[in-house]
Structure 1
Amino acid sequence: MAAPPGEELARLAALHGVGTSYQPSPDRTVTASAAAVTRALAALGVDAGTPEAVRGALVTREAELRERLLPPTVVCWSGSGSGSGIESGGGGGGESRAEALAVLPEGSRLLVETEQGESRDAVEGLPPGVHQLTVTAPDGRTGRAHLVVAPARLPRPTGTPMPTGRSYGLLVQLYSLLSRRSWGMGDLGDLGELAAWAGRALGAGFVQVNPLHAAVPGAPTDPSPYRPSSRRFPDPVHLRVEDVPEYAYVDDREGVAALLERAARLRQAVLEKGELIDRDAVWAVKREALEAVVRVPLGPGRRAAYCDFLAEQGQALEDHATWCALAEVHGSQWRQWPSGLRDPRSAETTRARGELMDRVDFHSRLAWLTDTQLTAAQRTAREAGMDIGIVHDLAVGVHPEGADAWAQQEYFAAGMSIGAPPDAFTARGQDWGLPPWRPDRLADSGYAPYRRLLRGLFRYAGALRIDHVMGLFRLWWVPQGQPPTEGTYVRYDAEAMLAVLVLEASRAGAVVIGEDLGTVEPGVRESLRERGVLGTSVLWFERDWDGDGRPLPPDRWRADCLATVTTHDLPSTAARLTGEHVELRDRLGLLTRPVEEERADATNDTAEWLGLLTRLGLLAGSAGGSDRSSEEAEVQAVHRFLLGTPARMIGVWLPDGVGDRRPQNLPGTWNQYPNWRLPIADAEGRPVTLEQLAASPRLRALIDVLRERGSP
């Protein structure tokens, strides 16, 4: 059994936000190993390898905290009913809050440099933004900090013309949504069409998609949208090539025709032959087409717009495009590049950037084109009457070999990966293979990379879903080469992370949704709700866990949430109602108990929900079997149930509208199941195009329920 941390190591860990224990359940506490704590401290630049090193680091840290006047980042919530928010504080104990100013030595002088370049001798009435704060103590000591001034909370979603005054919308994995114009996978043209149709014909308020972040190229490319190369820049594989204005002026029309034929074959392979979505093949065709497109000179107006984009994105875009260009030459694993190129600021990298300037410009141009089509999709959604529009998804981290990990090395904890500790669902814990941000470096920079990331996404998002939103508070760090059981939690300054999030979202007028499913420590949901961040509630998980464990009645659901029946990581509603999800896991050898027990539990779970629906008058005469009409009635009933909750947003998993049986992702599998490569299909497994979705009577009937035109 691993040794627990000693008293001095535990004190040192606490001073750096490193946990020494965790609670997988309210009645059980597990102590982290001394090795896990020591490795986490080492990733933060703290030597705790020997007792002497621990004592020395402890003395150094205590002296540092005792002598400093300000923490690296200070938060001030404006509009909180207490003037600037400085006098009252906000409770909770985070040292970054503005009450840090209240403990300054008497007679200290404050000077604020605002974002607008204005200098002030006080912090009262500061505009929202990230300002520079300087304090001079009477004894001559000086301290500096970043001052984040953010609105006290985000406004609530306003609601669509839906009779209930709330928003409902569609949830879809974009790659799975193929139209008759797609090049083998769903694209941004399809997203615009879906948004226009859903907004105008269905009265929907939003469309939520999977992360569209840039992927790490490979052979094959990792299809998961949750292990991206960059969260800052989108992937050009989602481009609708024909919608790029320069496409019409490509001289080689025969070459264009040949590319269109290849694209048609990819589309037909998925829609007509039942093949999987082949992202790499799609990108090969699109890349060849885009190579021809970017050779077309930009007109004066387009050139000016592109130059503005380059200037606005600055170093971040140059780094991203440089990584893409270097990956074409040296492969995508940058830690195996020539040593000089592993440093984005080295002379070798500068020289290579100059030699590859054409390729750097190519990838910069693709980032601009993708940004413009994403912006167009959001504009289309709003013009179609959507009050929110496109809901984008922010992955919890990035691939360790990707562009962000290369360009922002100083912000990532070396030798660490994030995941989840053992719990009731995963006895061995989880390792997601994503390097964590260093909380100390974030704070020292005033959360600069986090701010740039959010600002980039909010350019074209009506709302942002944050995957594993608990990561704003703490993350489970797993030392590389160790099992997830040998990890420990490392805490982030949640007050500052939330303040930056609220600041950037409020500037964009956007909604924020936190994915807060699974193990959530006490106080997290309350903090999110206080700042106007919505949660996520999934029907099958909403039970009275503090009581008898039965399904939670609709009037006991929380209001500040996006309520859904299922998600991309769960079985479709039809599969759950029919028990097909158990059979799938049995075929793949994923069950940990006899299949008979799993079937019985699944049947009982479904029966409890159907019983509640019947008692509430939402389901009449359901047979509860495989009969298609009964199945459709049950799918409609669970969505009608969502209408009875106070949830401010209601999401419909688009594949549920046509009876799709297959999950888009089956956690716990890699090559056993085609995760992230399936098109939307009907109950028989036949792929369904966007055009067929728009004409589907089954989908229309389900939407009518949400528009309160259906009947039990």
Structure 2
Amino acid sequence: SPYRPSSRRFPDPVHLRVESVPEYGHASDRAALDELRRRAAELSDGVLNKGALIDRDAVWELKRQALTLLAAVPLTPGRRAEYCDFLARQGPALEDHALWCALAEVHGSDWHSWPAGLRDPRSRETARARGELLDRVDFHCRLAWLTDTQLADAQHAARDAGMAVGIVHDLAVGVHPGGADTWAQQDAFAHGMSVGAPPDAFNARGQDWGLPPWRPDALAASGYAPFRGLLRGILGRAGALRIDHVMGLFRLWWVPEGRPPTEGTYVSQDAEAMLAVLVLEAHRAGAVVVGEDLGTVEPGVREALTRRGVLGTSVLWFERDWAGTGRPLPPEEWREDCLATATTHDLPSTAARLTGDHVTLRHRLGLLTRPLDQERTEDGADTAEWLGLLSRLGLLPEGGGDEEAAVRAVHRFLLRTPARMTGVWLPDTVGDRRPQNLPGTWDEYPNWRLPIADAEGRPVTLEELAASPRLHRLMEVFRA
């Protein structure tokens, strides 16, 4: 999952485009590279035409082999100088990350199961292993460099194309408990604890995300060095940063290991310090910051973010006059300092919301806490109320019964709000009805493994997506 990464500071090299690495054209073993390309094409064909799920482990194995071949190609003097400069800028943090990657290849991806001496990144055994695995450590350092370089190229291309912001990176709320960050910075994490969310209207059972929290006392004692390093790393190639569960800068719901989320408790951070570090690093990078302030938000959080220029997130279906009539909030009454969206990665697509498919899915997976008929009736009434408002505002000229027209009407509504930014969920552009992530599920649903599909559930390639008539009809809403 992208929200349970091994590291938040260094991007995952599974996203590298191997053919764009300059050394690709100079590799000597062309037969081996061609065979890897053939196997990669088989994986793609399985997803696009045979209903297979995205298998990132299989993708990574092919890319790892190809990148190992490319690592044998000597760097040109100019490329070698760029690589050395990158190593100098990243310093010990990159060395630790690359060493974890190298050790994981030998001992497995959870450092808790490693030989005792290797569980401490500063032990004599670890120092000895660093020397023994020097080539693999260098390999993983090089992957971090290549990934950073391709991100920089993408951001430059975006800016050259006229984008004011370009790449918007996403900061997950935490990291995998057995990953690189928790191994390298063990003193900064509260081991034996996990963060999540208390019971709420979205999930009556609460949530346990399996992410160890930072220790507030350790962060303060270090002058917030881990947080500063994280932000500098992720903001280096970003025009904006979206912070998942931004309330975590204020407090987090801690769940003791082995206990249900209902038995957790809130633990507070020094929000003033965390926000100060955040806005300073964002200012240095010239980046916009958007916080996902959805769910249970304690009083004062949104006001504190607004005072510091951090935008919030407003999702259409949640924007109602909760203090008054409870009816949908007219566009002119929305807040200005926010990103306005129809949905998020944790919510149903707009097509699923309009059709009620999301209720049926949650019922099938046993996630509903009330009878199906009751859930359907309430959901249908909610949707009808919003569609009625869209019609009264003249945003749905096609009338009811047209799902695609309703999706366009929703985005016309968002553009009428005073929000500083408007977000478009990519699956909404082609009518995909399946959520990418379904909170409350583990192996019951293929979270993050579904390719984007059209309204009929047929996976679409990047080229088909860009040429989609439905996407272009939606984009006309924004051009207008």
2:454 is aligned to 682
- 1:482 and 1:290 mapped to 2: Cα distance? 42
| 1:339 aligns to 2:116 (yes or no) | yes
2:415 is aligned to 643
What is the CA distance between 1:274 and its match in structure 2? 2.0
Contact 2:204 2:369 in 1 (8 A): no
Q: Which secondary structure state, in structure 2, belongs to the residue aligned with residue 431 of structure 1?
A: strand
What is the CA distance between 1:301 and its match in structure 2? 0.6
Q: Which secondary structure state, in structure 2, belongs to the residue aligned with residue 381 of structure 1?
A: helix
Candidates 284, 290, 293, aligned match of 1:507: 284
1:313 is aligned to 90
- 2:226 and 2:57 mapped to 1: Cα distance? 30
2:179 is aligned to 402
- 2:37 and 2:189 mapped to 1: Cα distance? 42
Candidates 365, 374, 379, aligned match of 1:602: 379
- 1:484 and 1:658 mapped to 2: Cα distance? 36
What is the CA distance between 1:294 and its match in structure 2? 0.5
What is the CA distance between 1:491 and its match in structure 2? 1.1
What is the CA distance between 1:591 and its match in structure 2? 2.0
Q: How does 1:352-367 map to 2 (within 5 A)?
A: 352-367=129-144
- 1:266 and 1:699 mapped to 2: Cα distance? 26
Candidates 39, 46, 53, aligned match of 1:262: 39
Scaled by the length of structure 1, the TM-score of the pair is: 0.67
Structure with the higher strand share, 1 or 2 = 1
2:99 is aligned to 322
Cα-to-partner distance string for 1:362-420 (whole Å, 9 max, x where unaligned): 11111111111111111111111000001010000111111100000011112211112
What is the CA distance between 1:641 and its match in structure 2? 0.4
> Percent identical across equivalent pairs?
78
Q: Which secondary structure state, in structure 2, belongs to the residue aligned with residue 247 of structure 1?
A: helix
1:704 is aligned to 476
1:619 is aligned to 396
Contact 2:208 2:261 in 1 (8 A): yes
- 1:675 and 1:655 mapped to 2: Cα distance? 14
- 1:594 and 1:481 mapped to 2: Cα distance? 29
What is the CA distance between 1:227 and its match in structure 2? 0.7
- 1:584 and 1:622 mapped to 2: Cα distance? 27
Q: Which secondary structure state, in structure 1, belongs to the residue aligned with residue 423 of structure 2?
A: strand
- 1:308 and 1:603 mapped to 2: Cα distance? 58
- Letter aligned with residue 466 of structure 2: A
Greater C-alpha radius of gyration = 1
- 1:561 and 1:332 mapped to 2: Cα distance? 38
Cα-to-partner distance string for 1:41-90 (whole Å, 9 max, x where unaligned): xxxxxxxxxxxxxxxxxxxxxxxxxxxxxxxxxxxxxxxxxxxxxxxxxx
- 1:585 and 1:476 mapped to 2: Cα distance? 24
1:480 is aligned to 257
Q: Which secondary structure state, in structure 2, belongs to the residue aligned with residue 671 of structure 1?
A: coil
2:432 is aligned to 660
- 1:245 and 1:497 mapped to 2: Cα distance? 39
Contact 2:194 2:212 in 1 (8 A): yes
Candidates 228, 231, 236, aligned match of 2:8: 231
What is the CA distance between 1:427 and its match in structure 2? 3.0
- 1:589 and 1:414 mapped to 2: Cα distance? 31
Q: Which secondary structure state, in structure 1, belongs to the residue aligned with residue 195 of structure 2?
A: strand
Change (3 A) 1:671 1:415: closer
1:455 is aligned to 232
1:464 is aligned to 241
Name which structure has the greater RCO, CA cutoff 8 Å, separation 6+: 1
Q: Which secondary structure state, in structure 2, belongs to the residue aligned with residue 418 of structure 1?
A: strand
- 2:247 and 2:348 mapped to 1: Cα distance? 23
1:157 is aligned to none
Q: How does 1:38-49 map to 2 (within 5 A)?
A: none
- 1:565 and 1:613 mapped to 2: Cα distance? 13
- 1:632 and 1:322 mapped to 2: Cα distance? 50
- Letter aligned with residue 640 of structure 1: R
- Kindly report structure 1 stretches of 4+ aligned residues shifted beyond 4 Å: none
Of 577-586 and 227-236, deviating more is 577-586
Cα-to-partner distance string for 1:150-193 (whole Å, 9 max, x where unaligned): xxxxxxxxxxxxxxxxxxxxxxxxxxxxxxxxxxxxxxxxxxxx
- 1:677 and 1:524 mapped to 2: Cα distance? 33
Cα-to-partner distance string for 1:627-673 (whole Å, 9 max, x where unaligned): xxx11111110100011100010011111111111111111222221
Contact 2:207 2:440 in 1 (8 A): no
| 1:695 aligns to 2:467 (yes or no) | yes
Q: Which secondary structure state, in structure 1, belongs to the residue aligned with residue 290 of structure 2?
A: strand
Q: Which secondary structure state, in structure 1, belongs to the residue aligned with residue 363 of structure 2?
A: helix
- Letter aligned with residue 66 of structure 2: A
Q: Which secondary structure state, in structure 1, belongs to the residue aligned with residue 196 of structure 2?
A: strand
- 2:337 and 2:445 mapped to 1: Cα distance? 35
- Letter aligned with residue 623 of structure 1: G
What is the CA distance between 1:428 and its match in structure 2? 2.9
- Letter aligned with residue 180 of structure 2: A
Q: Which secondary structure state, in structure 1, belongs to the residue aligned with residue 191 of structure 2?
A: coil
Cα-to-partner distance string for 1:226-273 (whole Å, 9 max, x where unaligned): 111111111000000000000111101111111111111111111122
- Letter aligned with residue 313 of structure 1: Q
What is the CA distance between 1:606 and its match in structure 2? 0.6
Q: Which secondary structure state, in structure 1, belongs to the residue aligned with residue 8 of structure 2?
A: strand
1:74 is aligned to none
What is the CA distance between 1:426 and its match in structure 2? 2.9
1:82 is aligned to none
- 2:428 and 2:38 mapped to 1: Cα distance? 32
- Letter aligned with residue 474 of structure 2: L
| 1:526 aligns to 2:303 (yes or no) | yes
Aligned pairs, number: 480
Q: Which secondary structure state, in structure 2, belongs to the residue aligned with residue 289 of structure 1?
A: helix
What is the CA distance between 1:622 and its match in structure 2? 2.0
Cα-to-partner distance string for 1:266-307 (whole Å, 9 max, x where unaligned): 111111222111111111110110000000000001001101
Contact 2:243 2:291 in 1 (8 A): yes
2:207 is aligned to 430
Candidates 391, 404, 415, aligned match of 1:632: 404
Candidates 326, 340, 343, aligned match of 1:549: 326
What is the CA distance between 1:547 and its match in structure 2? 1.0
Of 477-486 and 345-354, deviating more is 477-486
- 1:674 and 1:342 mapped to 2: Cα distance? 32
What is the CA distance between 1:621 and its match in structure 2? 4.7
- Letter aligned with residue 298 of structure 1: L
Structure with the higher helix share, 1 or 2 = 2
Q: Which secondary structure state, in structure 1, belongs to the residue aligned with residue 91 of structure 2?
A: helix
- Letter aligned with residue 464 of structure 2: Q
